[in-house]
Amino acid sequence: MRISLFVACYNDTLFPETGVAVTRVLERLGHTVEFPLAQTCCGQMHYNTGYHREAVPLVRRFVEMFRDAEVVCVPSASCVAMMREHYLMMAEAENDSAFLADVKSLLPRVFEFSELLANRLQTEDVGATFAHSVTYHPSCHSLRMLHVGDAPVRLLRQVRGLTLLELPKKEQCCGFGGTFAVKNADVSVAMLAEKQGCVVETGAEVVTALDNSCLMQIYGGLHRAGSAVRTMHIAEILASEGAAL
Amino acid sequence: MSVRVGKTDRAAAFPVAAKTALKNDQLRANVRRATDTIRGKRALRVEEMPDWQQLRDTASAIKAHTLRHLDEYLVEFEKNCELAGGKVHWARDADEANAIAIGLIRQYSEGNSHVEVIKVKTMTSDEVQMNVALEAAGITPIETDLADMIVQMGHDEPSHIVVPALHRNRFEVRDLFRETMHRPELTAEPEDLTGAARAYLRERFLKVKIGVSGANFAIAETGGVCVVESEGNGRMCLTMPDVLISLIGVEKVIPRFEDLEVFLQLLPRSATGERMNPYNSLWCGVHAGDGPKAFHVILLDNGRTKLLHDEMERETLECIRCGACLNACPVYRETGGHAYGSIYSGPIGAILSPQLQSLEHSRSLPYASTLCGACYEVCPVKINIPEILIHLRGRVVREDQATLGGKLAVENLAMQGAAAAFQSQRRYEAAQRLAQAGQMLFRKGDQLENLPGMAGGWTKYRDLKAIPKQSFRDWWKSRSKGASA
């Protein structure tokens, strides 16, 4: 299948290894990956912070860029949540029937990475080997907006050598919340402390998620506390062919 | 019209108030323990309902329908309430509601210099700060809900809409009772404490002639009112006094008696994890030889009807005040209710208070959420709280942008800059390179430290990896080049 990659602006800039891993996994499975270089941002940061007017051109840009894609893969649950929760409503408010029609036609072809693999492509064994203990943090957007269910867990279970450890209070938010993390830094860090404690309690070597945004928050706390627990996007684990941490 | 929502008008912004709450370890431990317990009970009681999702849909549909025809149902309620012998008064705002209540209390206590009223737990009377108004008029309000009584005795503020004293543990309550009731022998055993409260309250139930209540539901079809509670003190206040005054927000009306069936299943399970409330009181007008001899309803607007015009804002009025969103909210869990600066705390408070009262006093509340969606998931009437928070954030931003100071604010400039960069590949890539180069000033090894401005809120408490030299797109470009070479 021809898969268009929307890598997300923060992944592109801060976590390039995620995009690399997604590309490796999809190519290893025999798919063709393309990356339209003109892509930038899905508009989530602006929209969720209240800059609704400013988010519209970004949405238009995304839709224009991927209108003709067979399938769009996004290694970020929160970007997909932005699209599924708000694009239609935003397009309706624009009073532009062509734009609205494009949004309606494109949305069913946009998938979060684990959804794409486990549900759309029906591939649970991606041929990965990762001999480490891992705990999975279901990000709020993947859990309560995308309802990805056990797709990520099904993928992780097929990884050779991997020990999956259950995260206590896993459905509780890590405290990131985009601009919340800086606007309400104190509360954000208090929430993080609890999440961090739960991660450490599992004894896992690695904590993973579908979102680098949550992982950036969890890393921030773990690293500040001097913990040896690593944060890795699920794509990196699924791309792994057994290399050491 | 002066709309008031408890203490919002003099409250600090959420991040400031939250900082204070975060320092109070005892309060946080109490809040965590209490919300964990209620959440667990709620989950059990919801799980055993096979039609829970249908009930939610039905409740939401009833509320949405009622709000679209609110004027008709309120008039119907008024007509039927008065046919049954009640009297309906209309209050535009807090001041009017309090003036009506004070007028009625004076009317029925003519000649008495010292007047007391007993109160059933009512958020609406807290919203209009009725106790403050009553005291100023020389009337002593006595809260009879155990938690409200604890809050009142401690000159405290409620921190939860269902469990107002949830931030207090039993040792704190023992100390309070020992002092207020002059009973130094009291222990912190629950039996001892409830026994003391019972004796204290019983004396007042038997003596006080006027009761003040709120309502969970007002039924248009019958003109009747419904209060659900767990302790029975409500039932005492609703049946013992000669006069009953019920202050009811206009959104509490439901069309038919039959509709109660839906809400009486959703509310107790959502609020306290009970299958049914121990006490469900329904009353309608006056009846010779039974219950109060005079019954007055004050229908309160206080900013509510202005929310009817906007579809999304209107959804807020569907709330049945169960508090499930508070118990589910990870932000509330850390701070408790006081940080919200409003009588309505937690996620529902974060959308209700800014809308009832002008945004001016509660601009920070729409941002007091990570938009994690836990509140929406548990809401028995399916209020999409995260969506409404985002909607309100939009209003805050637009209001800010309408002023010069707001236009020049760092956040606005940063957001405008980012939006402009995201609109062009060239500008976006230039911004990426600028960030990669600019970080050198803050780089220490592979970490960034002491970032300026808003980002400083991050690096103050958390580590942050430096921006990698090669972006994903750089990798992609070099790979394509390699492939074509």
DSSP for B370-424, written as a single string: ----HHHHH-TT---HHHHHHHHHHHHHHHHHTSHHHHHSHHHHHHHHHHHHHT-
Closest residue of chain A to B399, computed from CA coordinates: A50
Question: Chain B residues with CB inside 8 Å of A190's CB?
Answer: 22, 334
> What's at B179, amino acid-wise?
E
- Residue B1: the pLDDT is 67
User: Is it the case that residue A101 has pLDDT exceeding 70?
Assistant: yes
Q: What is the DSSP string of B162-195?
A: SSTTTT--HHHHHHHHHHHTT-TT--S-HHHHHH
Are the C-beta atoms of B137 and B102 separated by less than 8 Å? yes
CA A159 to chain B, closest CA, distance in angstroms equals 25
User: Is it the case that residue A51 has pLDDT exceeding 90?
Assistant: yes
- Residue B485: the pLDDT is 52
Mean pLDDT computed over A103-131: 97
Which tokens sit at B10? 């003099």
Cβ contact B476–A220 (<8 Å): no
User: How many CA atoms lie less than 13 Å away from B452 in the CB half-sphere?
Assistant: 9
**Given CA atoms B106, B110, B112, B113 in this order, what sign does their dihedral have?**
positive
Strand partners, A74: A112
Cα A225 from Cα B355, distance rounded (Å): 40
CA A123 to chain B, closest CA, distance in angstroms equals 25
For residue range A1-48, list pLDDT tens digits in order: 999 999 999 999 999 999 999 999 999 999 999 999 999 999 999 999
Cα A207 from Cα B79, distance rounded (Å): 62
What share of chain A in percent tops pLDDT 90? 98
Cα A74 from Cα A112, distance rounded (Å): 5
Pseudo-torsion of CA A214, A234, A71, B477, nearest 10°? 90
pLDDT, tens digit only, all 485 positions of chain B? 677 787 766 778 999 999 999 999 998 999 999 999 999 999 999 999 999 999 999 999 999 999 999 999 999 999 999 999 999 999 999 999 999 999 999 999 987 878 999 999 999 999 999 999 999 999 999 999 999 999 999 998 888 999 888 888 899 999 999 999 999 999 999 999 999 999 999 999 999 999 999 999 999 999 999 999 999 999 999 999 999 999 999 999 999 999 999 999 999 999 999 999 999 999 999 999 899 999 999 999 999 999 999 999 999 999 999 999 999 999 999 999 999 988 899 999 999 999 998 777 788 999 999 999 999 999 999 999 999 999 999 999 999 999 999 999 999 999 999 999 999 999 999 999 999 999 989 999 999 999 988 888 899 999 999 999 999 999 999 998 876 65
> What's at B330, amino acid-wise?
P
Q: Residue B470: which of A16, A85, A143 has the nearest Cβ?
A: A16
Tell me if chain B has a CB within 8 Å of the CB of A223.
yes
Cα B194 from Cα B189, distance rounded (Å): 9
Burial class (CB in 10 A: 0-12, 13-18, 19+), B403: exposed
Which residues have CB under 8 Å from A229's CB, separation 6+?
A: A199, A200, A204, A205, A206, A207, A222
- A73 SS3 class: strand
> What's at B407, amino acid-wise?
K
Cα A156 from Cα A164, distance rounded (Å): 7
Tell me if chain A has a CB within 8 Å of the CB of B375.
no
Calculate the average pLDDT of chain A: 97
Which residues have CB under 8 Å from B172's CB, separation 6+?
A: none
- Residue A154: the pLDDT is 97
**Alpha helices (runs of H) in B283-384, residue ranges in sequence order:** 311-315, 324-328, 330-335, 346-356, 374-378
Cβ contact A140–B464 (<8 Å): no
Cβ contact A184–B22 (<8 Å): no
Cβ contact A182–B458 (<8 Å): yes
For residue range B404-428, list pLDDT tens digits in order: 999 999 999 999 999 999 999 999 9
Apex A107 CA angle, A99 and A173, nearest 5: 120
For B318-336, b/e burial (b = at least 16 CB within 10 A) is bbbbbbbbbbbbbbbbbbb
The label of the residue with tokens 């401005």 reads B453
Q: Quick one: angle between helices B70-83 and B52-68, nearest 10?
A: 90
Cα B131 from Cα B98, distance rounded (Å): 9
Cα B297 from Cα B309, distance rounded (Å): 25
Closest residue of chain B to A176, computed from CA coordinates: B370
Burial class (CB in 10 A: 0-12, 13-18, 19+), B469: exposed
CB contacts under 8 A, B 410-449 vs A, are 411, 415-416, 418-419, 421-423, 425, 428, 432, 435, 447
Show contacts of B305-314: CB within 8 Å, 24+ apart.
Answer: B305/B70, B305/B250, B307/B355, B307/B356, B308/B67, B308/B70, B312/B387, B312/B388, B312/B391, B313/B355, B313/B388, B313/B391, B314/B64, B314/B67
User: Is it the case that residue A244 has pLDDT exceeding 80?
Assistant: no
Q: What are the φ/ψ torsions at residue B111 (nearest 5 degrees)?
A: 90, -20
Mean pLDDT computed over A154-159: 98
- Residue B156: the pLDDT is 87
- Residue B112: the pLDDT is 82
Tell me if chain B has a CB within 8 Å of the CB of A212.
no
Show contacts of B182-185: CB within 8 Å, 24+ apart.
Answer: none
Q: Nearest CA to B248 among B404, B18, B89, B95? A: B89
- Residue B9: the pLDDT is 65
- Residue B261: the pLDDT is 96
E-strand stretches of B409-467 = 443-444, 447-448
Query: Which 8-state DSSP code applies to residue B465?
Result: B
Could you tell me the end-to-end alpha-carbon distance of chain B, in angstroms, rounded to an integer? 74
For residue range A56-73, list pLDDT tens digits in order: 999 999 999 999 999 999
Could you tell me the end-to-end alpha-carbon distance of chain A, in angstroms, rounded to an integer? 31
Cα B229 from Cα B281, distance rounded (Å): 8
Cβ contact B472–A19 (<8 Å): yes
Q: Nearest CA to A83 among A113, A53, A57, A63? A: A63
Mean pLDDT computed over A88-96: 95
Strand partners, B118: B142, B211
Which residues have CB under 8 Å from B223's CB, separation 6+?
A: B77, B78, B79, B80, B81, B82, B83, B84, B86, B284, B285
Question: Chain A residues with CB inside 8 Å of B428's CB?
Answer: 9, 40-41
- The ipTM is 0.97
Query: Which 8-state DSSP code applies to residue B367?
Result: G
Distances (CA, A) of A43 to B216, B288, B384: 41, 65, 20
Are the C-beta atoms of B228 and B277 separated by less than 8 Å? yes
